[in-house]
Amino acid sequence: MRKYIAFLLIAILGWTLATTFKAIPFGADRRGDLDHPDKVAAFYLKESPEVLQTANSITAIVVNFRGFDTLGEVTVLFLAATGLASILYRRKEEDVEVERVRLPSSGLVRTGAKILFPLMLLLGIYVFIHGHLTPGGGFQGGAIIATGFLLMLITYKHFETNHNVMVWLESLAGLAFVAVGLYGLFVYGSFLHNTKSVGTLNDLISGGLIPLIYIFIGIKVGTELTNILYILLKIKKS
């Protein structure tokens, strides 16, 4: 019976995919131009600076036009971090002492890490705050911040991150992201819909809610990746 059910589900999935791909006009010119905004690319290029006041069209697509998909990406990252933590971090369940991998570092490396760490944090913050103006955004800025923490973790054995603070920051950033999305849904009728007060193009305070969304994403990605790296650098004491 299970085989028949599995075959039926696969057949339904195959039929759905086949009809979906058949409806896609592969090879058709979808570039359009700014005088015909019904075309996908032209619509994005026209609406981003004029309606959303966002200089970076990619940002407008990621956190506004297809913001619900971005919520899925953030959820996938959260699930990946949770799954990795549940597999590798069993100190409380197994009562096993863990310590960080001991990686010797020279005085030059330690000095360089002290200098680079705050600069990397500032760069990461700059990237996700200016994501609506320049290439970059929450995911890139969060990755840079996590890289700064990785530098300190592999340079100094006794450098620690506060796990509880990281978890709280990650949770609050995720909840804030969802709250902004629900605000757009209930007020304007679509998830992550931008506010009507969007500011002036090319100003730091512009793009409406888009910079705020990228700040939340940057904090969430940075804390999640940092926690993952911290867990991976832990080993059981022999």
Which residues, including other chains, have CB under 8 Å from residue 151's CB and lie 6 or more apart?
Answer: 113, 116, 117, 120
What pLDDT digit, counting tens, does each position of 30-52 carry?
A: 555 555 555 777 777 777 777 77
Cα 14 from Cα 20, distance rounded (Å): 10
pTM over 0.85: no
Q: Which residue has the higher pLDDT, 33 or 144?
A: 144
User: Is the pLDDT confidence value at 226 over 60?
Assistant: yes
What pLDDT digit, counting tens, does each position of 51-61 carry?
A: 777 877 787 88
Q: Which residue has the higher pLDDT, 119 or 91?
A: 119
pLDDT at 123 (0 to 100)? 93
What pLDDT digit, counting tens, does each position of 59-76 carry?
A: 788 877 777 777 777 778
How far apart, in Å, are the Cα atoms of 76 and each of 81, 163, 210? 9, 21, 21
Average pLDDT value over all residues in the chain: 78
Task: Using pLDDT thresholds of 50, 70 and 90, give the confidence band for residue 93.
Answer: very low
3-state helix, strand, coil in the chain (%, to 5): 65, 5, 30
Long-range CB pairs of 233-236 (<8 Å, 24+ gap) are 233/100, 233/101, 233/153, 233/154, 234/88, 234/89, 234/98, 234/99, 234/100, 234/101, 235/98, 235/99, 235/100, 235/101, 236/96, 236/97, 236/98
**Strand ranges, E, within the chain:** 98-100, 234-236
What pLDDT digit, counting tens, does each position of 203-214 carry?
A: 777 777 888 888
Residue type, 111: T
User: Is the pLDDT confidence value at 137 over 60?
Assistant: yes
Q: Which residue has the higher pLDDT, 201 or 6?
A: 6
User: Is the pLDDT confidence value at 229 over 60?
Assistant: yes
Number of CB atoms found within 10 A of residue 42's CB: 17
The residue-averaged pLDDT of 103-111 equals 77
User: Is the pLDDT confidence value at 164 over 60?
Assistant: yes
